[in-house]
């Protein structure tokens, strides 16, 4: 009997061990800064944590990713052996400079506690709670008031936006009511305003906690629509309503076509509303006012050809360049005949020739670009009662019938699928600055962006998948006019003046400037650091010795450098001792902007530049690196097109009824691995002109003309 009892007990223990070993881990995901942060927890039979880890791989590696790693190695590792139900996430310190990621991790743990223990949701207390968090702006934080009544969110009020006003308006108009309706932090971000949306949800989570609730209880799933809607009978479908898409939509409608527009973001205009102006060669109205030709087109074409020649081989498609030069001026006058106004005088850019090739613009009667874009789309829509467009609608694939382009499948923000059928399609999705994988494949890594990242290469991928479209110069250097520290400090951890000092250090060409590719690029940086730092790649380091740093503390910076863009409002002076430099550098370290090492060799190891001793003179002392980034507006490679803006397949044939415009095809104007041309406004000009030409050609094709 004893033997039998012992056997039963042994079997029971084995079954318990098997049960514990085979139990599925608990996981929970919460939106962080760059994507979801996921917590995985393994528990024993008593609810004791046996393993716990945070996956922050979608976050910024040096900040959010580093925060996840720091918590994994520290606070989370310390939780092993603790009952999950007893974990107090409020006692877990957030990682400095990575509040969003840290809070997401803590919220995910609270979600797992509720999942494992079935805890009752904590009731929020009625009242209005004010929260301040960094938004998109680099000069102003976002402050919001959240009102709760009866345990529910009833109102959101903007105190300070901390974001681009016209973009944040889409958050106020769309995200605020959706949050109130859903009562869930799982509500999707507004496309085209991802950073602002994430900041609003972070602020709401903080307000819930202030009100005595738990943000973990507000991550309730949101049901998506499964409805499928067919829209038939269109001549032209325009995918993307930025600069290229707007002119394509207007041009096609003007030619009598029925047109449907698809825009992933919550507003029209895309990145084109953030640029100063387009290239426009000899607009007839300006030529007349000037008393003759402004720019010799043959000279411009010759210079363009020389710039885009590599090792004796012409890389740009000069017939398309010539077409662009000939048509860009016409585009300016055509746009003025509708809802836009351009500066009366053409202006020159940085090119040595000083050709007057571009002009700033806005809406009619002093309106903004956004005013002009909205008015243009509405004008085009009114040209035919069937014409229409939708915002927050994401194109997924081209519809093919009998081997021909026959429309676009798209999904709306609420999950509804739209099959939009038409005779031709114009791709105007803005390039691939929002797709990290394409960036890694073609332009040497992920670049910081000042652009709207809904431009994620959708048009390029759809054309490749559906018609085997040919790529052309995908590796052209992206448009970069901005340099700043890699992780811009947007809160009050530094004063404005302290931020100005840090920025000055990261744009100083009188000290070694080294890319992560292990190349020193000082000789490639001219008088405008921001326009040339792309030569180092997506990121770079400015190197300072311990002697340099000590001199700055007692004698001041040798140069007071102020950025052309993304300045944060502070003042920096040369030859004025920076007595608080240690504080500035220490905060910079916490944000991943500053590295310090006891020797030059150790610094190279820290920043992954092992050949640093070959690039910088070693004085045998400690060294510092200040990390900077080129902030880009757009990528410059894409699909091959011909002079009709028709997409070309890999066999060299034009694809009937398919057109690619703007940054989806600008590679045909440029050269592999070389920078964007410097005449002024070429990308904006190509967007507006290629869109106008493509819209007209698509309409003619659809109508059989």
CATH number of the domain encompassing residue 160: 3.90.1010.20
Q: Do 270 and 283 contact (CB within 8 A), yes or no?
A: no
**pLDDT value of position 14:** 34
**pLDDT value of position 35:** 64
**pLDDT value of position 481:** 87
- Looking at 143-216, list the stretches that DSSP marks H as alpha helix, in order from N- to C-terminal side: 165-170, 176-182, 194-210
Specify the CATH number for the domain of residue 664. Answer: 3.50.50.60
Query: Measured on CA atoms in the order 341, 345, 348, 353, is the torsion positive or negative?
Result: positive
| pLDDT of 697 strictly over 70 | yes
Q: Does 102 share its domain with 77?
A: yes
282-312 pLDDT per residue, tens: 999 999 999 999 999 999 999 999 999 999 9
Q: Quote the number of domains for the chain.
A: 4
Q: Within 13 A of 641's CA, how many CA atoms are on the CB side?
A: 37
The residue among 190, 218, 246 that closes a domain is 218
Distance CA 513, CA 320 (A): 37
Query: Measured on CA atoms in the order 279, 284, 285, 288, is the torsion positive or negative?
Result: positive
In-domain check, residue 649:
yes
Closest CA to 499 of 159, 10, 137: 137
DSSP letter for 212, please: T
Q: Does 315 share its domain with 337?
A: yes
187-244 pLDDT per residue, tens: 999 999 999 999 999 999 999 999 999 998 999 999 999 999 999 999 999 999 999 9
Q: Do 685 and 320 contact (CB within 8 A), yes or no?
A: no
| pLDDT of 1 strictly over 60 | no
For 78, the token pair is 């310390």
Q: Does 490 share its domain with 628?
A: yes
In-domain check, residue 18:
no
621-651 pLDDT per residue, tens: 999 999 999 999 999 999 999 999 999 999 9
Q: Does 616 share its domain with 597?
A: yes
Which residues, in sequence order, are CB contacts of 327 under 8 Å at separation 6+? 689, 692, 693
Distance CA 449, CA 250 (A): 29
For 10, the token pair is 């042994």
- Biggest CA-to-CA distance, the chain: 115
The pLDDT confidence band at residue 418, using thresholds 50, 70 and 90, is very high
| pLDDT of 20 strictly over 90 | no
Distance CA 304, CA 282 (A): 16
Distance CA 560, CA 682 (A): 32
**pLDDT value of position 22:** 38
In-domain check, residue 654:
yes
Comparing 680 with 105, which gets the higher pLDDT?
680
| pLDDT of 411 strictly over 50 | yes
Q: Is 16 helix (H, G, I), strand (E, B) or coil?
A: helix
| pLDDT of 16 strictly over 50 | no
Q: Do 119 and 213 contact (CB within 8 A), yes or no?
A: no
Q: Does 41 share its domain with 52?
A: yes
**pLDDT value of position 60:** 64
In-domain check, residue 627:
yes
Closest CA to 184 of 57, 31, 39: 31
Q: Does 556 share its domain with 618?
A: yes
The pLDDT confidence band at residue 179, using thresholds 50, 70 and 90, is very high
In-domain check, residue 4:
no
Stated as kind and residue range, the H or E segment containing 69 is helix 66-73
**pLDDT value of position 97:** 63
Q: Do 629 and 448 contact (CB within 8 A), yes or no?
A: yes
Q: Do 662 and 244 contact (CB within 8 A), yes or no?
A: yes
Which residues, in sequence order, are CB contacts of 365 under 8 Å at separation 6+? 341
**CB-CB neighbours of 472 under 10 Å:** 24
Q: Does 623 share its domain with 484?
A: yes
Q: Does 562 share its domain with 491?
A: yes
**Phi, psi for 169 (deg, rounded to 5):** -60, -35
The pLDDT confidence band at residue 53, using thresholds 50, 70 and 90, is confident
Angle at alpha carbon of residue 261, lines to 255 and 265, rounded to 5°: 145
- Looking at 349-449, list the stretches that DSSP marks H as alpha helix, in order from N- to C-terminal side: 369-381, 436-442
The residue among 64, 85, 117 that closes a domain is 117
Which residues, in sequence order, are CB contacts of 247 under 8 Å at separation 6+? 331, 335, 687, 688, 689, 691, 692, 695
Strand pairing category for 259-262 and 388-390: parallel
Closest CA to 541 of 511, 580, 584: 511
Q: Does 203 share its domain with 269?
A: no
Specify the CATH number for the domain of residue 535. Answer: 3.90.700
The residue among 633, 666, 690 that closes a domain is 633
State percent of the chain over pLDDT 70: 94
| pLDDT of 62 strictly over 70 | no
- What's the whole-model pTM score? 0.89
**pLDDT value of position 3:** 40
Q: Do 456 and 613 contact (CB within 8 A), yes or no?
A: no
| pLDDT of 109 strictly over 90 | no
Helix axis angle, 581-590 to 546-555, nearest 10° = 130
* Ranges assigned E (strand) in 516-580: 539-545
Comparing 143 with 60, which gets the higher pLDDT?
143
**Phi, psi for 180 (deg, rounded to 5):** -65, -35
Which residues, in sequence order, are CB contacts of 191 under 8 Å at separation 6+? 264, 265, 266, 392, 394, 413, 454
| pLDDT of 118 strictly over 70 | no
**Mean pLDDT within 531-553:** 95
Q: Does 470 share its domain with 613?
A: no
Q: Do 107 and 36 contact (CB within 8 A), yes or no?
A: no
Distance CA 112, CA 40 (A): 9
Burial level of 313, CB count in 10 A (0-12/13-18/19+)?
Answer: exposed
| pLDDT of 11 strictly over 70 | no
**Mean pLDDT within 508-524:** 93
Q: Does 388 share its domain with 265?
A: yes
In-domain check, residue 263:
yes
The pLDDT confidence band at residue 100, using thresholds 50, 70 and 90, is confident
The pLDDT confidence band at residue 8, using thresholds 50, 70 and 90, is very low
* Ranges assigned E (strand) in 428-559: 448-449, 471-472, 479-485, 513-515, 539-545
Q: Do 59 and 68 contact (CB within 8 A), yes or no?
A: yes
Comparing 51 with 96, which gets the higher pLDDT?
51
**pLDDT value of position 32:** 66
**pLDDT value of position 12:** 37
Closest CA to 639 of 669, 666, 675, 672: 666
Distance CA 220, CA 211 (A): 18
**pLDDT value of position 676:** 87
| pLDDT of 371 strictly over 60 | yes
Q: Does 446 share its domain with 379?
A: yes
Q: Is 508 helix (H, G, I), strand (E, B) or coil?
A: coil
In which domain, by residue range, is 259 found? Answer: 228-478+635-702
Q: Do 117 and 85 contact (CB within 8 A), yes or no?
A: yes
**Mean pLDDT within 364-377:** 96
**Mean pLDDT within 557-574:** 93
In-domain check, residue 8:
no
In-domain check, residue 452:
yes
């Amino acid at each position: 009997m004893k033997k039998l009892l012992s056997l039963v007990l042994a079997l029971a223990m084995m079954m318990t061990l098997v049960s514990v070993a085979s139990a599925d881990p608990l996981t929970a995901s919460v939106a962080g800064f760059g994507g979801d942060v996921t917590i995985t927890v393994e528990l024993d039979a008593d609810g004791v944590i046996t393993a716990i880890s945070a996956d922050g791989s979608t976050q910024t590696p040096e900040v959010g990713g580093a925060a996840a790693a720091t918590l994994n190695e520290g606070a989370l590792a310390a939780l092993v052996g603790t009952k999950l139900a007893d974990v107090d996430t409020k006692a877990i310190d957030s990682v400095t400079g990575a509040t969003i990621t840290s809070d997401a991790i803590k919220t995910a743990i609270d979600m797992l506690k509720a999942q494992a223990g079935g805890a009752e949701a904590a009731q929020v207390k009625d009242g209005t709670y004010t929260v301040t968090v960094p938004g998109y702006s680099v000069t102003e934080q976002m402050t919001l008031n959240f009102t709760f009544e009866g345990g529910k969110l009833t109102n959101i009020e903007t105190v300070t936006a901390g974001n681009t006003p016209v973009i944040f308006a889409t958050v106020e108009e769309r995200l605020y009511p959706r949050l109130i309706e859903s009562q869930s932090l799982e509500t999707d971000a507004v496309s085209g305003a991802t950073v602002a949306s994430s900041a609003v949800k972070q602020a709401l989570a903080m307000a819930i906690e202030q009100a005595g609730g738990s943000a973990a209880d507000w991550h309730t799933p949101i049901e998506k629509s499964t409805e499928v809607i067919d829209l038939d009978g269109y001549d032209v479908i325009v995918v993307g309503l930025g600069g290229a898409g707007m002119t394509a939509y207007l041009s096609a409608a003007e030619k009598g076509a029925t047109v449907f527009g698809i825009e992933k973001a919550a507003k029209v205009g895309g990145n084109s509303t953030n640029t100063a102006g387009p290239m426009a060669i000899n607009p007839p109205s300006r030529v007349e006012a000037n008393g003759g030709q402004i720019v010799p087109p043959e000279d411009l074409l010759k210079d363009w050809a020389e710039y885009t020649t590599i090792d004796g081989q012409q890389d740009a498609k000069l017939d398309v360049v010539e077409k662009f030069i000939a048509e860009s001026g016409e585009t300016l006058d055509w746009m003025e005949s509708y809802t836009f106004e351009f500066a009366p005088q053409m202006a020159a850019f940085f090119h040595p020739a000083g050709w007057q090739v571009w002009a700033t613009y806005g809406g009619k009667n002093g309106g903004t670009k956004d005013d002009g874009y909205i008015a243009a789309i509405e004008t085009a829509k009114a040209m035919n009662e069937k014409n229409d467009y939708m915002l927050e609608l994401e194109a997924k694939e081209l519809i093919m019938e009998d081997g021909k382009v026959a429309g676009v499948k798209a999904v709306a923000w609420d999950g509804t699928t739209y099959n939009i059928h038409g005779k031709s399609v114009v791709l105007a999705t803005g390039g691939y600055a929002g797709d990290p994988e394409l960036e890694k494949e073609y332009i040497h890594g992920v670049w910081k962006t000042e652009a709207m990242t809904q431009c994620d290469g959708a048009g390029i991928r759809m054309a490749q998948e559906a018609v085997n479209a040919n790529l052309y110069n995908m590796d052209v250097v992206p448009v970069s006019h901005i340099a700043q520290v890699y992780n811009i400090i947007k809160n009050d951890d530094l004063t404005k003046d302290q931020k100005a000092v840090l920025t000055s250090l990261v744009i100083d060409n009188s000290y070694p400037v080294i890319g992560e590719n292990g190349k020193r690029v000082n000789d490639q940086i001219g008088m405008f650091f921001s326009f040339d730092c792309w030569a180092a790649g997506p990121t770079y380091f400015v190197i300072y010795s311990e002697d340099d740093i000590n001199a700055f503390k007692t004698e001041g910076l040798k140069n007071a450098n102020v950025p052309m863009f993304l300045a944060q409002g502070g003042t920096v002076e040369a030859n004025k001792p920076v007595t608080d430099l240690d504080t500035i550098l220490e905060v910079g370290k916490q944000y991943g902007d500053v590295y310090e090492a006891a020797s030059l060799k150790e610094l190279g190891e820290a920043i992954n530049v092992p050949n640093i001793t070959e690039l910088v003179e070693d004085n045998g002392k400690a060294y510092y690196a200040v990390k900077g980034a080129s902030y880009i507006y757009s990528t410059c490679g894409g699909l091959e097109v011909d002079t009709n803006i028709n997409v070309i397949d890999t066999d060299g044939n034009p694809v009937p009824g398919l057109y690619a415009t703007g940054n989806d095809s600008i590679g045909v104007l440029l050269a592999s691995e070389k920078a964007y041309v410097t005449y002024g406004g070429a990308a904006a000009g190509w967007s507006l002109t290629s869109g106008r030409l493509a819209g007209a050609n698509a309409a003619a094709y659809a109508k059989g003309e």
